Structure 1
Amino acid sequence: MRISLLHTIDGNRRVFDDAATALNVGAIRHEVRADLREAVQQAGTFSPDMKARTKRCIVDLAAESDAVIVTCATLSPIVDEIEGKAIPVIRADKALAVAAGKADGKIVVLCALESTVEPNRRLFEAHVSEAGTSVDVIHVADIWALYGGADLPACFAAIARAADEAYEAGAAVVAFAHPWMGPAADLVRAPQRPLHSAEVALRAALSELSA
């Protein structure tokens, strides 16, 4: 079994490697294409050319894999536009929203950029399965700057504090919006473990492959 992962942040490699080891996943392959995300962000939109380039990258990975996981939320919507998929192609962001949406109570989503608050709110609200479940998306200030500055201990400590505060405030589940936030889950003091998309997306891929 071989699972390929399309990243746009190199730091996601370690998070998925650790999750794959914990889940006894077989071979995984990493493809890092920061250029795709950067081109979309610079243009402010997904042009037809960028859609075609992203689809081609996913299709090429699929040709040599049993499953593909797209880990970048910017690129993920393109997965829904690919027709006739011969193998599972997983959106990590959607897999996370589906897993969190099973909660009965308050879902708190922690994200690193203000620009991702509303897209995450729409995504998670679309996958809420219980009538009494609410979604609160929180921008954790400064963690993106800390991450970009390679101050990872301070970055992950701040994420863990935000998760603990959310649980103390009554969250039924806390979800980390970005895969690179995953290591902070081990620093959370609350008995509940936050969800992060590396674990969730790999579980989703394994589930589809065993179906």
Structure 2
Amino acid sequence: MLKDFREKRNVMRIACLHTAQSNVAVFDSAAKALGIGPTVLQHEVRADLLAAAERSGVLTAQVSNATQQALLSLADHADTVLLTCSTLGPSIEGLAKNTSSVIIRADEALARAAVRANTQGGKIVVLCAIQTTVEPTSRLFMHAAQASKALVEIRLVCGAWARFKSGDLTGYLAAVAEAVDRAYLDGASVVALGQASMSEAASLVTTSSSPLTSATEGLKAAVEAASRHVKSGS
């Protein structure tokens, strides 16, 4: 069974839509850790989409439509398309009827994983670095936690995004890791890194628990979806 799964996992096609070039390496690294072959993932980077949302302060209809077109284009050549940007996440709503491929959100997979991991019924703390993702991330996690009655707190890591945009990736990841440590010390039972760009901060955390990342959880969900797609012969 395990051998069959590994074989299927490495013949499927998963396309990732990113809004930061650095996330290509983040997802390639997560894929390698999960045993996903190097030929499975394909990447497209559309930094212009996030930049447009930042200028507007919200996800506008124009940016949402452009995101949908990019996702549908990738879906023509993939079993599953993974949208890795949490700011653009709501753009996938209603796309299922337009393609036979599966289009999923990395942050939605993260939210489901956080609720599953919260076995003690404690507080889930979700960290965000950019203001434009706070509202959609909050809505997503609150919805995922409804059935479990889990408490969810969204925290913005102040100043982190400015470091990221200035190219100070080391400072950015250090700030995120510090926020993770603080959340655990404040009593969080689960900490989730709400943006894919935060993923590598997990290795810098000094508390005993590691945060969940959208890169790992998103790819797990993408593999499962692509496996079903390949099995169905769609």
Q: Which amino acid aligns with 1:33?
A: R
Mapped partners of 1:52, 1:140: distance in 2:
29
Distance 2:25 2:82 in 1: 15
Mapped pair 1:94 → 2:108: yes
The one-letter amino acid of 1:72's match is C
Tell me how far apart the structure 1 counterparts of residues 68 and 170 of structure 2 sit (CA, whole Å). 36
Amino acid at match of 1:160: A
In the alignment of these two chains, the number of paired residues is: 209
CA drift at 1:160: 1.0
Unaligned runs of 5+ in 1: none
Q: Aligned match of 2:157 in 132, 136, 140?
A: 140
* Cα distance between partner residues in 2 of 1:144 and 1:75: 16
Other-structure match for 2:167: 150
- Return the alpha-carbon distance in structure 1 between the equivalents of residues 103 and 216 of structure 2: 16
Of 185, 188, 194, which residue of structure 2 is paired with 1:177?
194
Match for residue 45 of structure 2?
32
CA distance in 2, matches of 1:46, 1:181: 24
SS in 2 for 1:6: strand
Matched, 1:11 2:22: yes
1:206 has 2:223 as partner:
yes
Cα deviations by residue, 1:162-204 (Å, 9 ceiling, x for unpaired): 1111112211110111101111000112222101100000000
Which residue of the partner structure matches residue 20 of structure 1? Answer: 31
More moved, 170-179 vs 117-126: 117-126
Shift of 1:115: 4.1
Alignment partner of 1:192 out of 204, 209, 217: 209
CA distance in 2, matches of 1:11, 1:72: 12
Distance between the aligned counterparts of 1:157 and 1:51, measured in 2?
31
- Equivalent runs, 1:104-115 vs 2, <5 Å: 104-115=121-132
Q: Helix, strand or coil: the match of 2:144?
A: coil
CA distance in 1, matches of 2:76, 2:111: 27
1:100–1:55 distance in 2 versus 1, CA, 3 Å = same
2:76 to 63, 71, 79: 63
- Please report the TM-score for the alignment, with normalisation by the length of structure 2: 0.82
- Structure 1 moving runs of 4+ over 4 Å: none
Aligned-residue sequence identity (percent) comes to 42
CA deviations on 1:11-32 (whole Å, 9 max, x unpaired) are 1111101001101113211101
TM-score by length of structure 1 reads 0.91
* Conservation of the 8 A alpha-carbon contact between 2:81 and 2:102: yes
Root-mean-square deviation (CA, aligned residues, Å) is 1.7
Unaligned stretches of 5+ residues in structure 2: 1-11, 229-234
- Cα distance in structure 2, aligned partners of 1:51 and 1:154: 31
SS of the aligned residue for 2:206 comes to: coil
Rounded to whole Å, the distance in 2 between the matches of 1:189 and 1:157 is 11
Residue 39 of structure 1, CA deviation:
2.9
Structure 2 CA distance for aligned equivalents of residues 38 and 179 of structure 1: 16
